[in-house]
Amino acid sequence: MNTRATPKENPGAIFHFKCKVYGRSTGANGVKLAAYRAGERLRSELTGRIHNYTRKTEVAFKKILAPDMTIPWVTDRGLLWNTVDNTEVRKDAQLAREIEVALPLALSRDAQIELLTAWIQETFVSLGMVADICLHDKVGNPHAHVLLTLRALQPTGFGPKVRKWSDPLLVESWRASWSAAVNRSLEKAGLDIRIDHRSYRRQGVDVKPTKHVGRQTPWNGEKVAEVSMENRLIQIERKLQEQKQEQKKAAQIAAPEEKETQAPSPICASPQRPPRVRRPRPARVSPNPGFLSGSGPSY
């Protein structure tokens, strides 16, 4: 993602919601995940390594929300995720769930933070999760990373893992709730912009969607260029389709309305031909009544 992009002239809002679970099978570490998103320097007690990401400058807001804020180690980011790493003993254990959402450009920073914290408190923390919120202020792309614990917080520590939090139907309800929360904030700000968590096909809109490009790295340059070119072609097709629709609407407005046909006056009316009357055909009279079909000649 280009952090030096120029701000948009007409800022709006887009729907972006990404849900992912990190585990040790992919080499993930809870402390490393938290340090990278928060732009901090944290030490992992499990591995003894120090993860330093203090050079990250786009972190504009970070906060930890928990059901019980009286537990001393909950509000400390290093203690929290070291506790998560030490609680999991399996080599393929799942450590955390991440929710990534795009924040509306049309809202102010205070409104974005209020929207984000209220939605996380209502959607996740109320269920028993601990949420580590980090807002990244990239030019033209403000977004938030939310690391969620997979175990419910109890007064004595973390309890067992809650498997129902991984239900796909629950994830779909989170998507819908984020869309509704953003629309409420946009309406509260007096903006007529709205987002929808459904795809174009589910909305019944005949529009071809673009593909997510993602961050360019030295290893995916060819793929990024290919997807970017494909997106440009899709945008051109959209513009052509919009122009055709506008021309069609303009032609319908310019076309004269059809006048109701009136019956012609009797003077100007053309004479109509009377309906044809079929007369009965007269009976056929045989010239030789004595001749019967199939009989011999009569003399």
**CA 249/CA 240 separation, integer angstroms:** 14
3-state SS record for the chain: CCCCCCCCCCCCCCCCEEEEEEEHHHCCCHHHHHHHHHCCEEECCCCCCEEECCCCCCEEEEEEECCCCCCCCCCCHHHHHHHHHHHCCCCCCEEEEEEEEECCCCCCHHHHHHHHHHHHHHHCHHHCCCEEEEEEEECCEEEEEEEEECEEEECCEEEEECHHHHCHHHHHHHHHHHHHHHHHHHHHCCCCCCCCCCCHHHHCCCCCCCCCCCCCCCCCHHHHHHHHHHHHHHHHHHHHHHHHHHHHHHHHHHCCCCCCCCCCCCCCCCCCCCCCCCCCCCCCCCCCCCCCCCCCCCC
- For the question of whether the overall pTM of this predicted structure is more than 0.95, the answer is no
Name which residue leads in pLDDT, 123 or 273.
123
| Alpha-helix residue ranges (DSSP H) falling in 159-217 | 168-188, 200-203
pLDDT, tens digit (0-9, with 9 covering 90-100), for 186-221? 999 898 888 887 776 777 777 777 777 777 788 887
Q: For 219-238, what is each residue's pLDDT tens digit?
A: 887 888 888 888 888 888 87
CATH number (1.20.1260.10, 3.40.920.10, 3.30.930.30, 3.30.300.90) of 17-197 reads 3.30.930.30
More confident residue, 202 or 38: 38
Would you tell me how many other CB atoms lie within 10 Å of the CB of residue 132?
26
Rounded mean pLDDT of 170-192?
93
Instruction: Tell me: pLDDT of 2 over 60.
Output: no
Contact of 22 with 33, CB cutoff 8 Å: yes
Nearest to 84 by CA among 70, 74, 72: 74
Q: Where are the domains of the chain?
A: 17-197
Task: Please check the confidence at residue 133 and state whether its pLDDT lies above 80.
Answer: yes
